[in-house]
Structure 1
């Protein structure tokens, strides 16, 4: 189909580090697994953060899909299965709603954003009771990628989640090209490159598992996404934050690994990673974007892991280890990883207003711990013995 009509392989690197550092890395991995599984809801949902006022009681498909990937790589198939069971159940319960949304789109009457599926759910699969920036499509593509990748890794029959998969596919086919909020729940008026990449990754990962009609439709949509991003989502040789923009975003490396919209060995991948590092990487910690004012615009654990993951996949183990070490250094005395840290705020004058609104930065953030597991595994450091 395209240069990236193949899954990005997972091939852990071999990293030469001393025994003490390997022990510390493994200890934080064990703690990360414990944090994630201790706070996993009985029904399978991964809460974004168990203590943060705006996050507790809610589960995002975006956060959860990456958290489940980290747990799957760690080898805890039961926990990851329970999460995917939960998403599957939530989506099966939305079958009629999605059918109505699809029918409206086919009539040329796209529903307003507030009628679309939410980006976060309560643990029992309901919509939230408080207002949120809800219309975000990336999480549904991420879940398709995550559930199939997990099933392939552990030899699990995908039939277990097929009904939920078809709901997600039908929903995305009806709205993938619409403007929506981005990963950071901002700019609903734009079409975001990282969002399109997540949908592309979901479509290309799941295509061979679908019936002929759906398979043809997702392959066509993936080709359209590929062409659209090349035409409108590239400036100065790198991917951009949204179509027609020139800025970069810390989520852009995901367009390369794991979602495969850009092949890792291309000039576009190289230039994009360099642009993200140049604009957003400080001492191994990665900002979301230069105009970020959320809690002052700190450095995000999960984005450091995402950039490190991409470097590891390209064979730059030294660069990837730089990010892994930075992440490990951000753990508090209990070993918990926050959402972001404030060592290098882009807009420090804005932090106080967020603290007053929601309290201190979320910690622990399960997505941060999940991404740490992914990067440690990509570097071959989750094994109990040195490779």
Structure 2
């Protein structure tokens, strides 16, 4: 008989699993048993480090951030060259930009088949580092991180508006609001830690850019934007005009918009209507073909996190319970499950090609830990208040 996990047990098991799958140099393995995910992603890893910080495992988070810092220090000359080439108006090939994932010891990934130019991880790392530093008693950025932070900040300032791969390594020809949320969140977090007391001008510009270009006539933020260049000027049209569950990042944790903002509220509602299944899981986006477009545990956790931010305790608890139900007898959580698929042919095609979906996926475990922490903290506060 399969083990029935409680949320508390699964949170503890998740922390242990994450610790077991952290390289001695600091990188977190995205999925140790899935060959295609045997790398460390800056985006996934930053949220994984955050989950470890919330669990009191600050040494694990510190090791990850030091791993990223060493990578950036090695890339500083490349960043400076890229910015210089942009200032001269030179065309830059995608392969020349920084990578989105690295070998666990920090070396470049030169073997995987996905594209590399992806900005979300670098913004997320700035946010994650800032959060880690605040949680460990720092009121400013230590000198050991300063040059890496400055390099990433400059890189994002220079290239934030460039088309690049979205967080799923897809649609490189578009600009993605979820990616802009990561950039906004990172720059804002660094500014707050630096004590400037001001929202960076670029953050204000990103927010206005989203309000001007990324809101559908029905009131919600769209998945992607396509830049057009008529007569030498730039304009934007909707590239993909549905919602993607990653748009929740505009709310949590990057706070580009509060959940009460009309467009954010409309987006959350649209995600619930279009991407949340009757079983309670959340899909990436309509038309997703990766393993048939199943329900993703980490996105279900994000939906619960956003519900928690709105004070919707029952919905947050429901999502937590759904995730618990998807852990196997060893407490391992997959990337996605096919339970709600009407047609499993696309799923079977991917299984035949790559095997079952990645499991365990550290990002799934991390997001579960994050949601579990916030729910339990709020429950304790409400109980204390009577």
User: Which of 158, 162, 167 does residue 141 from structure 2 map onto?
Assistant: 158
User: Which residue of the partner structure matches residue 317 of structure 2?
Assistant: 321
- Are 1:144 and 2:126 an aligned pair? yes
- Deviation per CA, 1:261-287, whole angstroms, max 9, x where unpaired? 112222222211110010000122100
Partner residue in 1 for 2:89: 108
**Alignment partners' CA distance in 1, 2:33 and 2:291:** 17
CA offset at residue 43 of structure 1? 0.5
Match of 2:23 in 1: 41
1:96 corresponds to which residue?
Answer: 77
Residues in 1 aligned to 2:343 and 2:98: alpha-carbon distance in whole angstroms: 33
Measured in 2, the distance between the counterparts of 1:263 and 1:62 equals: 22
**Secondary structure at 2:245 match in 1:** coil
1:174 aligns with 2:164: no
Report the counterpart of residue 369 of structure 2 in structure 1: 373
TM-aligned CA distance change 1:368 to 1:124, over 3 Å: same
Match of 2:267 among 268, 272, 281: 272
1:18 paired residue number = none
| 3-state SS, counterpart of residue 145 of structure 1 | helix
Which residue of structure 2 aligns with residue 198 of structure 1?
182
**TM-fit CA distance, 1:348:** 2.4
Matched, 1:299 2:281: no
Partner of 2:36: 54
> Which of 29, 32, 46 is the aligned partner of 1:65?
46
- How many residues are treated as equivalent by the alignment? 362
The TM-score normalised by the length of structure 1 is 0.89
In the alignment, which residue of structure 2 is the partner of 1:9? none
What is the TM-score when the length of structure 2 is the normalising length? 0.89
Q: Is the 8 A contact 2:51 2:369 kept in 1?
A: yes
Query: Do 1:26 and 1:382's aligned partners in 2 also have CA atoms closer than 8 Å?
Result: no
| Equivalent pair of 1:376/1:382 in contact (CA under 8 Å) | no
Residue 198 of structure 1 and its aligned partner are, at CA, apart by 0.7
Show the 5 A alignment for 1:340-355: 340-345=336-341, 348-355=344-351
Q: How far is 1:381 from its partner?
A: 5.5
Q: Which region of structure 1 is more displaced relative to structure 2, 30-39 or 242-251? A: 242-251
Q: Relative contact order, CA 8 A, sep 6+: which one is greater?
A: 1
CA distance in 1, matches of 2:106, 2:341: 36
Kept in 2, the 8 Å contact 1:297–1:346? The answer is no
Please tell me whether the aligned partners of residues 293 and 346 of structure 1 are also in contact (alpha carbons under 8 angstroms): no
User: Residues 167 and 211 of structure 1: is their aligned pair in 2 closer, same or farther, counting only changes over 3 Å?
Assistant: farther
Name the counterpart of 1:83.
64
Aligned residue for 2:339, secondary structure, equals coil
Residue segments in structure 1 that go unaligned for 5+ positions in a row: 1-20
**Greater Cα shift, 73-82 or 352-361:** 352-361
1:335 aligns with 2:316: no
Alpha-carbon distance, 1:153 to partner: 1.8
- Given candidates 83, 86, 100, the residue that maps to 1:119 is 100
Aligned to 2:254: 259
1:128-185 deviation line (CA, Å, top 9, x unaligned)? 1213211110000001111101111221363142222112111111110000010111
- Point out the more displaced range, 343-352 or 197-206: 343-352
